[in-house]
Amino acid sequence: MHEVIAKGILSSNNGMNVYRGCSHGCIYCDSRSHCYGMNHKFEDIEVKVNAPELLEASLKRKRNKCIIGTGAMTDPYIHLEERIKNTRRCLEIIERYGFGVAIHTKSNRILRDLDLLKRINEKSKCVVQMTLTTYDEGLCKVIEPNVSTTKERFEVLKVMRDNGIPTVVWLAPILPYINDTEENIRGILDYCIEAKVKGIIVFNIGLTLRDGNRQYFYKMLDLHFKGLKERYIREYGNRYEIISKNSDYLMKIIRETCYKNKIICGVNEVFKYMRTLEDTKRNVQIKFDI
């Protein structure tokens, strides 16, 4: 890790990342892409030591309450958070000033901050977003090696359910020839139904590959899935969007299951829900980075 003094913390759309880089090791991570201009090794995590102070200054200046989004580029509950507690400090500020939060993670470390999330949800609005890609626990440890397992994340969703905190599941990415199966999708959907998630975000059954994350992904395919890199290159070339041949069939299963269980499934509708801060006097729609 290395520390920096950041110049700003909130984007124009009220999104923030208190870290840059990640220790979770997911083989498909888009944040490795060169287009984001990271000038340090991905695992050498940049810590914005003044993030809480910057956030407080920004919230003081805002005339209207809004939703603060975090976790779009770097998981706010990476391993360093246990010691540094930048995410918790920022949540304390969000709660103190009465703002809402939409927080995205793959880690059960978020349970440490359940007290804050409950208070934010009571005063304003808190949405916990959790990525679920792989029902099979063994496969999960291969493609997402240093993060809470899918079962552990499912347990987090149930805790949020029991505490009245709404949740959204990102069912993405799904990797062709690895986990793009009906069994996998139905297993994840069963978790979502039991946890009573508010919405599911799924764009297509597939993933995106850009310069930077493509090279790392292919390196991991060579390590764990012999011969699959060559199949990807043969079938997809250098495409940005890698869509599974099973996409239409699996998307139909997802839509039908969501409709049957009253889970918001349209991407725009889920984002609208997360970006809307409701109170008794008005509805305010606030956008943040995704």
* Whether residue 145 has a cis bond before it, omega within 30° of 0: no
Q: Identify whether 164 is part of a domain.
A: yes
pLDDT interval class at 285 (50, 70, 90) = very low
- Percent of the chain exceeding pLDDT 90 equals 94
Q: Give the per-residue pLDDT at 174.
A: 98
Let me know if residue 290 belongs to a domain: no
Residue type present at position 285: Q
Q: How far apart are CA 98 and CA 118, in angstroms?
A: 12
- Quick check: 170 and 130 in contact, CB under 8 A? yes
Chain mean position to CA 60: 27
Q: C-alpha angle 41/46/201, rounded to 5°?
A: 90
Confidence grade of residue 279 (pLDDT, cut at 50, 70, 90)? low
- pTM above 0.85? yes
Residue type, 53: E
Determine contact, residues 211/33, Cβ cutoff 8 Å. yes
Q: Is the pLDDT of residue 287 over 50?
A: no
Counting the structural domains of the chain, the total is: 1
From 210, 218, 202, select the one nearest 240 (Cα to Cα): 210
Nearby residues of 258 by Cβ (< 8 Å), 6 or more positions away = 200, 264, 265
Q: What is the pLDDT of residue 288?
A: 45
Residue 142 is part of a domain; what is its CATH number?
A: 3.20.20.70
Report pLDDT digits (tens) over 92-119.
999 999 999 999 999 999 999 999 999 9
State the Cα–Cα distance between residues 50 and 83, nearest whole angstrom: 15
| Domain ranges, residue 65 | 2-285
